[in-house]
Amino acid sequence: MNYAGKVVVITGAAGGLGRALSKQFLAAGAHVALLDMNGPALRTTADSLLFTAPGRVLAITCDVSDAEDCQHAIATVIAHWGGIDVLVNNAGIAHRSLLCETDLAVLRQVMNVNFFGAVHCTQLALRSLRARRGQIVVISSIAGFSPLFGRTAYSASKHALHGFFDSLRSEVEDDGVDVTIVCPAFIATGIERAALGGDGGAATLPRNAIGGEVSADDMATRILTAVCRRQRLYLPTSLAKLAWWTSRLVPAYFAQQMKRRSAPSPR
């Protein structure tokens, strides 16, 4: 797949995996629109990328949980470059807290960003993606197909992405639009450091990165290869593959091992 001259929209692009994906698509010759709600960080990222890709970077401040923000952002990209070839739904937030200790507002916030943020951008970009036989890339997680202790809202938002985009694929594949769902395990980004706690403040429940973390740049390289191949589901690491098959073949064993490794020690 040749991305030279293609228009790529990436949400959550100011840092972490979003920034790494932006670098990969720019290196492949694409025009990249960076969307993020963190204006200062977005401008810093855009300025750094413009040095290597002048004229091919567009930065738009956008809160994906706000449908009007998304409408403005998608319309701006189409007006600026004429259409959208690839939409990467990457924006997300994490939380770590037991459900019995979690405010309903936190659950709604996680769903609004992780799920409805992707829904907003996809629905608004869909006409252009259909016209250009484009691609939709969804950054999910191993939490999108398996349980995860202390992450009820996060896991629910990722499971919802699978149901939504697997169903959407059946509606758009005959129009030449491909949907790739990516399920990483643990990536070294800032999302976990900013994870919400049950009251909306900083998370206090410990995080255990089973099997270590992959760098954002390494993960972005792997994802671009999968997107080029137009894979339907991409499990980028051996841990992700192990989680996929174990959670399906022996779900009770998977849940037992996951709790043993992820739950905090009894006090």
Domain of 142, in residue numbers: 7-262
Catalytic residues: 154
- The mean predicted confidence, pLDDT, of the chain is 91
Residue 35 predicted with pLDDT over 50: yes
Q: Report yes or no on 15 lying in a domain.
A: yes
pTM of the prediction?
Answer: 0.93
pLDDT band at 267 (very low <50, low <70, confident <90, very high): very low
Q: Report yes or no on 49 lying in a domain.
A: yes
Residue showing tokens 């900013």: 194
Q: Report yes or no on 233 lying in a domain.
A: yes
- State pLDDT tens for residues 96-147: 889 999 999 999 999 999 999 999 999 999 999 999 999 999 999 999 999 9
User: What is the average per-residue pLDDT within 52-80?
Assistant: 96
Within 8 A by CB and 6+ apart from 146, the residues are 155, 243, 244, 247, 254, 258
Q: Give the residue from 89, 148, 93, 94 showing the smallest Cα distance to 119.
A: 89
d(CA 99, CA 207): 16
Q: What pLDDT does residue 130 have?
A: 98
Q: Report yes or no on 267 lying in a domain.
A: no
Q: What pLDDT does residue 264 have?
A: 61
Proportion of the chain above pLDDT 90, given as a percent? 78
Q: Report yes or no on 44 lying in a domain.
A: yes
CATH number at residue 83: 3.40.50.720
Residue showing tokens 């659950």: 107
Proportion of the chain above pLDDT 70, given as a percent? 92
Residue 191 predicted with pLDDT over 90: no
How many domains is the chain built from?
Answer: 1
- State pLDDT tens for residues 204-254: 666 665 656 789 999 999 999 999 999 999 999 999 999 999 999 999 999
SS3 readout for the chain: CCCCCCEEEEECCCCHHHHHHHHHHHHCCCEEEEEECCHHHHHHHHHHHHCCCCCCEEEEECCCCCHHHHHHHHHHHHHHHCCCCEEEECCCCCECCCHHHCCHHHHHHHHHHHHHHHHHHHHHHHHHHHHCCCEEEEECCHHHCCCCCCCHHHHHHHHHHHHHHHHHHHHHHHHCCEEEEECCCCEECCCCCCCECCCCCECCCCCCCCCCCEEHHHHHHHHHHHHHCCCCEECCCHHHHHHHHHHHHCHHHHHHHHHHHHCCCCC
Q: Report yes or no on 131 lying in a domain.
A: yes
Q: Report yes or no on 1 lying in a domain.
A: no
